[in-house]
């Protein structure tokens, strides 16, 4: 494709309720969207970076700069495909969230022109995917139980609780008691603990959890190996998994027995498919993580989650979990599942009026020189 223009859209979107984790509390989401205009048509990508570098070293303004000064000019200077983007971007170290946004926009344009859906291209084997929901840290146990009860009533197939030191055993026990026997429950620590907490984390074994996600800092694979050997609850890595090679190493070292795949964090959906294939080959179950995506990112996540190795419900919640209005047609929960889009590209239509209404600043356009 020949890319004629790259548009950078920075939006501020309110959340329907605050979302708190061990690293912060969000009441809205600042979203960086990318539209590529090519000789075969347009495509959209969504950057999953947060406004501050608290979850990751990447953040919205940094991703904007990387796209503005490096990735955007690179695709404007050469004929490109989604498959060639990773090689084209290899001169930029890291910045996987920015790269993923650009690759996704290219893939959307490319597949729309070919009349092919993300699901078909990725290798989806299901028409719908099971959905879990991620529940943030609440002000109190009663408020937590009210929120979880609402999600159970809506039909979500799995509950994930955010935990941190001082907010773990008691809320997990309360939610386990609330749920029906056998209901899927897991916890996510977002790197909030240290190796000194192993004995404390062992107490989570009493609650028959599906998994504990990323208890220690990203770089400390050794600590996760030690924890996995000390507890019966399966350890799942998220932030530690930056690419397929790191995932294979963590699996072989027995630091993880389940992998959370976040395409927007590991460099894009092509790398996500490669990671899925590597895990499937090793009989390691995977699930699709979420980053509070709008319908643009959610459409791609749902298509990815329809691949055969995604055997656990992901964080692919319905649109109304986070947004009163979505940037695309809403994703609606039906019997605990979301339908995989079948239209060309992402299969969704971006609502230009909302892009304009929520804009933090005028659109920035990079043009082919």
Active site residues: 162, 262
Closest CA to 65 of 43, 90, 44, 95: 95
159 touches 174 (CB < 8 A): no
Residue 369 in tokens:
């020189």
Rounded to whole angstroms, the Cα distance separating 58 from 63 reads 7
| 165's tokens | 């030191």
CB 224, CB 251: distance < 8 Å: no
Work out the number of other CB atoms within 10 angstroms of the CB of residue 280: 16
CA within 13 Å, CB half, 2: 4
What letters, b where the CB count within 10 A reaches 16 and e where it falls short, cover 13-30? beeeeebbbbeeebeebb
What CA–CA distance (Å, rounded) separates 88 from 354? 32
Please state, in angstroms and as integers, the Cα–Cα distance from residue 51 to each residue in 9, 11, 17, 91, 103, following that order.
14, 11, 18, 25, 21
Whether residue 101 contacts residue 264, with contact meaning beta carbons closer than 8 Å, is answered with yes
DSSP 319-369: GGGT-SS-SSSPP--BTTEEEPP-SSBTS----HHHHHHTBSSPPEEEE--
């Amino acid at each position: 494709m020949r890319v004629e223009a790259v548009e950078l859209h920075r939006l501020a979107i309110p959340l329907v309720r605050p979302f708190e984790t061990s690293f912060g509390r969000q009441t809205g989401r600042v979203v960086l969207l990318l539209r590529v205009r090519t000789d075969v048509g347009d495509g959209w990508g969504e950057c999953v970076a947060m406004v501050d570098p608290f979850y990751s070293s990447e953040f919205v303004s940094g991703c904007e700069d990387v796209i503005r000064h490096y990735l955007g000019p690179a695709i404007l200077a050469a004929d490109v495909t989604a498959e060639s983007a990773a090689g084209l971007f290899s001169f930029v170290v890291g910045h996987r969230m920015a790269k993923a946004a650009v690759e996704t926009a290219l893939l959307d344009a490319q597949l729309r022109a070919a009349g092919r859906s993300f699901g078909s291209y990725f290798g989806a084997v299901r028409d719908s995917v099971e959905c879990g929901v991620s529940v943030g840290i609440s002000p109190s146990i009663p408020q937590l139980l009210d929120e979880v009860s609402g999600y159970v009533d809506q039909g979500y197939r799995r509950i994930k609780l955010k935990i941190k030191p001082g907010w773990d055993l008691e809320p997990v026990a309360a939610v386990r008691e609330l749920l029906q026997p056998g209901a899927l429950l897991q916890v996510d620590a977002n790197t909030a603990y240290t190796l000194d907490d192993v004995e404390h984390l062992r107490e989570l074994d009493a609650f028959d959890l599906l998994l504990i996600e990323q208890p220690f800092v990203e770089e400390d694979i050794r600590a996760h190996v030690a924890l996995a050997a000390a507890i019966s609850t399966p350890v799942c890595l998220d932030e530690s998994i930056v690419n397929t090679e790191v995932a294979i190493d963590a699996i072989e070292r027995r630091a993880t027995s389940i992998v959370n795949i976040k395409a927007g964090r590991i460099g894009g959906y092509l790398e996500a498919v490669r990671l899925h294939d590597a895990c499937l080959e090793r009989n390691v179950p995977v699930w699709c993580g979420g980053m509070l995506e709008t319908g643009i990112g959610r459409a791609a996540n749902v298509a990815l989650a329809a691949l055969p190795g995604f055997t656990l419900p992901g964080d692919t919640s319905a649109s109304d979990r986070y947004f009163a209005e979505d940037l695309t047609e809403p994703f609606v929960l039906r019997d605990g599942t979301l339908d995989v889009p079948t239209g060309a590209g992402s299969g969704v239509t971006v609502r230009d009026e909302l892009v304009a209404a929520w804009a933090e600043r005028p659109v920035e356009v990079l043009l082919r020189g």
